[in-house]
Amino acid sequence: MTLNEKLSRERVSGFLRAENGKIVNGRGEEILLVGMGIGNWLLPEGYMWKFGDRYNRPRRIEELVRELCGSAYAGRFWKTFRDSYITEEDVRAMAELGFNSVRLPVNWRVVMEDEPGIAWKEDGFRLIDRFLGWCEKWGLYVCLDLHGAPGGQTGHNIDDSLDDIPRLFTDTESDSREKTICLWREFARRYRDRSVVGMYDLLNEPVRTPVAGAKELPDLSEELKQFYRDCIRAVREIDKNHMFSLESVFWASRSDFFTEKFDDNANAHFHRYWCAPDITVLEGFLDVREKLGMPLYLGETGENSQEWFAAMYPLCLSLDIGVNVWPWKKMDTDSSVCSIRRPAGWEWIAGYTRGGDRPSYGRAQAIFDEYLDNIRYENCDLRPRVAASIFRRPGCSFRACDAVSFGGDVRRLDGEGNPAQKWEETRTVFGPGGSAAYRLYAEGEPGVLVLDTDFGTSAIEVEADGEVLLRTTAAGKRRIEIPVAKKEAFLLSLTCVKGGFSLDSIGWEKPDGK
């Protein structure tokens, strides 16, 4: 079975389930989920608006808009924001870029009244229902993610907590736990027959690590485990169909949390940011799969360079680990597919969040009006190389140190000629007989391999799956472009026959250079 077959949107069919450490669809076919996270839509985060820490979570951003623009404007703003930030055009674009899934983070206050008792907000559910309809049309599974639970499950800005305490677990008399389980029962009641909902992500990043200025927390692992048991039991009374996606403590990073499966149809969901893009950061969860038979899902990751993407995500996919990259869209970025343009005068708004001068109501409203135009997909600056890097397909570059294997005289050095300690500072130095093998991907189209360096006086050989593509002598600084006709995954081999040269990166470009 090829990687392209596992990634195909043709496999978005029926309810997902766990089977022998893999995720399979309703026809029993293995599917590797790869997609984007819809951050900032139903749970705004201040850093995606370039705000200071004072306005870093939904309730505070809501207060900022009201404060600067007035209550009547704020009401209109949030309706337009939710109708414009994600539209069918965003979903269509994800599908056309080759993604087969999407993670939808939801704040509980979007669908539930922040009042005593249980009361639903139908406007919030209508947003989710409309989004699910688009995903059904375009062939994307949806990971339904409770990103902000009643009381807060993390104890930080990302869960919209009041005071950086995960009160879902720490309070003894609040209604948060009951509300959270009731919410999941309501999701199950509404979506139990909707196979487009691929999985229920019960809690995003439960229980933070220590954070400067915030209350120190005890180990809440057992409280989280008991919550999972109780919530899963409550959901299974209504919904026997859906897969659960379960995250561990400490920003979903701890593999040793998984001492049980919790449900036969569940995956072990983890997050990775700002780490070395190599197998060492995956080993703990690979052990979980080996011991418990749970499929693995790297359900949130990103916010890094495109070359980091081209190292980390193809590695995960080669190990049958699904990937979801965060986020699809944010302001002024090179790490998301959609980059929102800063409105004119945005420095007034961002500066105010850091203690600067307050703009007038009229100025603030005009700035936010332009923001509402800029967030639409058709008005964003697009970064197609982000998507190409996730798959390591034509239209990206990757670091020469990210090889499947090395042979002979190959050294990984830093800029001073010492053994490299950091991935991002590594130059790969090929001596006589030195070789490296790289796994590259294509999605039905050929690519062009690009080697651009000072070759000194060297003889090199390039092969694809054992077929010689190039044997040549290269002298001095030179850019070598090698067309590769492969349209599936293949193994590229690069050998220094004589002489020597070094490479930072290797280009894997489209034939048209775009």
Q: What's residue 370's pLDDT?
A: 98
Coil, helix or strand at residue 128: helix
Reduced DSSP (H G I as helix, E B as strand, rest coil) percent helix, strand, coil of the chain, to 5:
35, 25, 40
Question: And the tokens for 274?
Answer: 């700002």
User: At a CB cut-off of 8 Å and minimum separation 6, what does 371 contact?
Assistant: 340, 343, 346
Pairwise CA distance, residues 351 & 359, whole Å = 10
Q: What's residue 338's pLDDT?
A: 98
With beta carbons less than 8 A apart as the criterion, state whether 271 and 251 touch: yes
CA angle (191, 195, 196) in 5-degree steps: 90
Pairwise CA distance, residues 366 & 372, whole Å = 10
Give the N- to C-terminal CA distance of the chain in Å, as an integer: 30
What's the pLDDT band for 214 if we cut at 50, 70, 90? confident
**What sign does the dihedral 44-45-51-54 (CA atoms) show?**
positive
Does the structure show a pLDDT above 70 at 65?
A: yes
Q: How far is CA 185 from CA 118, 239, 501, in A?
A: 12, 9, 61
Strand partners, 267: 245
What's the pLDDT band for 1 if we cut at 50, 70, 90? confident
Pairwise CA distance, residues 101 & 390, whole Å = 14
| One-letter identity of residue 479 | R
Question: And the tokens for 88?
Answer: 């069918």
Q: Which strands make up the sheet holding 410-413, listed edge to edge?
A: 410-413, 427-430, 501-503
Domain spans of the chain? 3-390, 394-509
What's the pLDDT band for 514 if we cut at 50, 70, 90? low
- Paired sense of beta strands 410-413 and 427-430, if any: antiparallel
Q: Which CATH homologous superfamily contains domain 394-509?
A: Galactose-binding domain-like (2.60.120.260)
Q: What's residue 209's pLDDT?
A: 84
Query: Quick count: other Cβ atoms within 10 Å of Cβ 291?
Result: 11
Question: And the tokens for 280?
Answer: 């060492």
Pairwise CA distance, residues 481 & 498, whole Å = 20
With beta carbons less than 8 A apart as the criterion, state whether 245 and 202 touch: yes
**What CATH architecture is 3-390?**
Alpha-Beta Barrel (3.20)
Same fold, 3-390 and 394-509: no
Over residues 310-362, the pLDDT tens digits come to: 999 999 999 999 999 999 999 999 999 999 999 999 999 999 999 999 999 99
Pairwise CA distance, residues 476 & 391, whole Å = 32
Our measurement of the distance from residue 405's CA atom to the centroid of its chain's CA atoms, rounded to an integer in Å, reads: 27
Question: And the tokens for 352?
Answer: 């105010």
pTM listed for this prediction: 0.96
Residue with token string 């997609």:
35
Kindly report the average pLDDT of the chain as a whole number: 96
Over residues 368-414, the pLDDT tens digits come to: 999 999 999 999 999 999 999 999 999 999 999 999 999 999 999 99
- Paired sense of beta strands 505-509 and 447-464, if any: antiparallel
Strand partners, 471: 461
**Got the DSSP string for 392-432?**
T-SSEEEETT--SEEESSEEEE-TTSSBP-SGGG-EEEE-T
Over residues 147-183, the pLDDT tens digits come to: 999 999 999 999 999 999 999 999 999 999 999 999 9
Name the residue among 297, 310, 467, 320 with its Cα closest to residue 402. Answer: 310
Pairwise CA distance, residues 506 & 397, whole Å = 6
Pairwise CA distance, residues 143 & 106, whole Å = 11
Question: Which uninterrupted H or E stretch holds 321?
Answer: strand 321-326
Pairwise CA distance, residues 136 & 487, whole Å = 28
Over residues 97-132, the pLDDT tens digits come to: 999 999 999 999 999 999 999 999 999 999 999 999
Name the residue among 128, 143, 326 with its Cα closest to residue 244. Answer: 143
With beta carbons less than 8 A apart as the criterion, state whether 408 and 434 touch: yes
What's the pLDDT band for 211 if we cut at 50, 70, 90? confident
Q: What's residue 487's pLDDT?
A: 82
Pairwise CA distance, residues 253 & 244, whole Å = 17
| One-letter identity of residue 391 | F
Question: And the tokens for 297?
Answer: 């899902």
Three-state SS letters, 157-208? HHHCCCCCCCHHHHCCCCCHHHHHHHHHHHHHHHHCCCCCEEEEECCCCCCC
Strand partners, 464: 467, 492
Please state, for a pLDDT cut of 70, what percent of the chain lies above it: 100
Question: And the tokens for 287?
Answer: 């052990």
Question: And the tokens for 291?
Answer: 């011991």
Find the mean pLDDT for residues 286-295: 98
Q: In the Cβ-directed half-sphere of 406, how many Cα atoms lie within 13 Å? A: 14
Coil, helix or strand at residue 125: helix
What's the pLDDT band for 246 if we cut at 50, 70, 90? very high
Pairwise CA distance, residues 355 & 351, whole Å = 7
Supply the DSSP symbol for 30: B
